[in-house]
DNA sequence: CACTCGTGGAT
DNA sequence: TATCCAAGAGT
């Protein structure tokens, strides 16, 4: 029997993660065989800064109600905001609606497969463009989200946490780690992300369940603590974000336009409430009517 | 590049 | 109970 030398380190890395994914991948609807590129795009936008558990029911509703980009494009943008419910960051709903309009008008109603065309869609940045090109179309792209950055930082670089912002070095590393063949690269992309989401988590990583434990640079280095600056927590109480959320919640729940008096009930400080309402109007999330009332955008 | 932009479950 | 933080994008 020939003594095959150890697989090259990169092949070993790929095999460990891909084998783990084959056994532990979650059964999510946007990964199902019958998924569409539109379904993948909707899932990626909904999942921006939002947990899977909260996205699931909204994704099912959206795809049932608007199964194609043209279906959503035909609806009023305010209906997208309303159906967004409490996923948070409601501008994403507006941008997804705008993306649907662009897909209908500029791409024949089909989600484009090219990374550059995806990137040009509203609400689609570097991550989402790569994710859709990879997950929906099986292309070879470096898909770099917070999960991937964390896995790379620990398993490869040996750091407890990635830098505050995505660096050129991280991007280069992600490209260097990509398997050569597109189908494998696509599975690798989703597999690394899944590993970061389920095992190599931010708070308390489950290293005992990790396929990379024996070769994790961070573990081998003795799990050094994070040395960079601590990420500053996001304030919430009393912020404009809280006020905007309250104002929009009232408008989402209302079947008819709402008066300024009714909106005043959700926040006592006139100055801040007015500023936030103006901001929502400027963002296109709220439409002011001639009679002084407000509603979700109808056009 | 630092900052803004929601929400609610987990710890 | 307070803090953390979850598949980012746009400015």
- A175-180: Cβ within 8 A, 24+ apart: A175/A142, A177/A10, A177/A13, A177/A142, A177/A152, A178/A140, A178/A141, A178/A142, A179/A14, A179/A140
Distance CA A100, CA A109 (A): 8
Nucleotide nearest to A248 (CA to C1'): B6
In this predicted model, what pLDDT tens digit does every residue of A77-95 receive, in sequence order? 999 999 999 999 999 999 9
Q: Which pair of structure tokens corresponds to residue A78?
A: 């305010």
Distance CA A99, CA A58 (A): 18
In chain A, what are the domain boundaries? 36-135, 240-295
CB-neighbour burial class of residue A45 (10 A; exposed 0-12, middle 13-18, buried 19+): buried
In this predicted model, what pLDDT tens digit does every residue of A193-240 receive, in sequence order? 999 999 999 999 999 999 999 999 999 999 999 988 887 778 888 999
Q: How confident is the model at residue A120 (pLDDT cuts 50, 70, 90)?
A: very high
Q: Which pair of structure tokens corresponds to residue A210?
A: 């990790």
Give yes or no for residue A103 having a pLDDT over 70: yes
* Residue with CA nearest to B1's C1' atom: A165
Residues 6+ apart with CB under 8 A from A16: A211, A212, A215
The CA–CA distances, whole Å, from A199 to A21, A73, A157, A189 equal 11, 38, 17, 15
Which listed residue (A44, A79, A194, A287) is catalytic? A44
Give yes or no for residue A19 having a pLDDT over 90: yes
Among A271, A269, A265, which residue's Cα sits nearest to residue A246? A265
Q: CA at A86, C1' at B9: how many angstroms apart?
A: 14
The CA–CA distances, whole Å, from A295 to A78, A98, A117, A154, A200 equal 8, 18, 33, 47, 43
Give yes or no for residue A127 having a pLDDT over 80: yes
Distance CA A6, CA A15 (A): 12
At the topology level of CATH, where does A36-135 sit? Endonuclease III; domain 1 (1.10.340)
CA A43 from centre of chain: 8
Distance CA A198, CA A204 (A): 11
Q: What is the pLDDT of residue A4?
A: 56
Nucleotides of B under 7 A from a protein CB: 1-2, 4-9, 11
Q: Which helix (H) or strand (E) holds A288?
A: strand A287-288
Q: CA at A89, C1' at B5: how many angstroms apart?
A: 6
* A234 is near strand B: CB distance < 7 Å: yes
CA A80 from centre of chain: 17
Q: Return chain A residues 240..279 having CB < 7 Å to nucleic acid strand B.
A: 240-242, 244-246, 248-249, 279
Among A9, A30, A6, A2, which residue's Cα sits nearest to residue A194? A30
Distance CA A256, CA A234 (A): 33
Q: What is the pLDDT of residue A1?
A: 47
Q: How confident is the model at residue A171 (pLDDT cuts 50, 70, 90)?
A: very high
Coil, strand, or helix at residue A287?
A: strand
Among A45, A222, A229, which residue's Cα sits nearest to residue A132? A45
Average pLDDT of chain A? 96
Q: Is A214 a catalytic residue?
A: no
DSSP A5: P
> A145-163 burial string, b = 16+ CB within 10 Å, else e?
bebbbbbbbbbbbbbbbbe
Distance CA A153, CA A133 (A): 24
Q: What is the pLDDT of residue A6?
A: 66
Q: Comparing A157 with A2, which gets the higher pLDDT?
A: A157
Among A73, A143, A81, which residue's Cα sits nearest to residue A111? A73
At the topology level of CATH, where does A240-295 sit? Arc Repressor Mutant, subunit A (1.10.10)
């Amino acid at each position: 029997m020939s003594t095959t030398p150890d697989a090259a380190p990169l092949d070993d890395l790929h095999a460990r993660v891909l084998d783990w994914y084959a056994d532990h991948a979650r059964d999510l609807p946007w990964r199902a065989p019958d998924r569409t590129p539109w379904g993948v795009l909707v899932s990626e936008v909904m999942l921006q800064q939002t947990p899977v558990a909260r996205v699931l029911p909204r994704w099912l509703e959206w795809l049932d109600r608007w199964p194609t980009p043209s279906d959503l494009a035909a609806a009023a943008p305010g209906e997208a905001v309303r159906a967004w419910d409490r996923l948070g960051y409601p501008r994403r709903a507006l941008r997804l609606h705008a993306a649907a309009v662009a897909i209908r008008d500029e791409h024949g109603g089909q989600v484009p497969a090219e990374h550059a065309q995806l990137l040009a869609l509203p609400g689609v940045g570097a991550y989402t463009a790569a994710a859709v090109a990879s997950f929906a179309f099986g292309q070879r792209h470096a898909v770099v989200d917070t999960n991937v950055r964390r896995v790379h930082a620990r398993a490869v670089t040996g750091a407890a946490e990635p830098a505050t912002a995505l660096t050129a070095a991280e991007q280069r590393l992600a490209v260097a780690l990509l398997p050569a063949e597109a189908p494998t690269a696509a599975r690798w992309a989703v597999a690394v992300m899944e590993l970061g989401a389920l095992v190599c988590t931010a708070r308390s990583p489950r290293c005992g369940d990790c396929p990379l434990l024996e070769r994790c640079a961070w573990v081998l280095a003795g799990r050094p603590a994070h040395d960079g600056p601590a990420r500053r927590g996001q304030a919430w109480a009393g912020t404009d974000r809280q006020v905007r959320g309250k104002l929009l919640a009232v408008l989402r729940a209302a079947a008819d336009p709402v008066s300024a008096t009714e909106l005043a009930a959700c926040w006592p400080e006139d100055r801040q409430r007015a500023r936030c309402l103006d901001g929502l109007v400027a963002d296109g999330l709220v439409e002011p009517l001639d009679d002084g009332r407000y509603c979700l955008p109808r056009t």
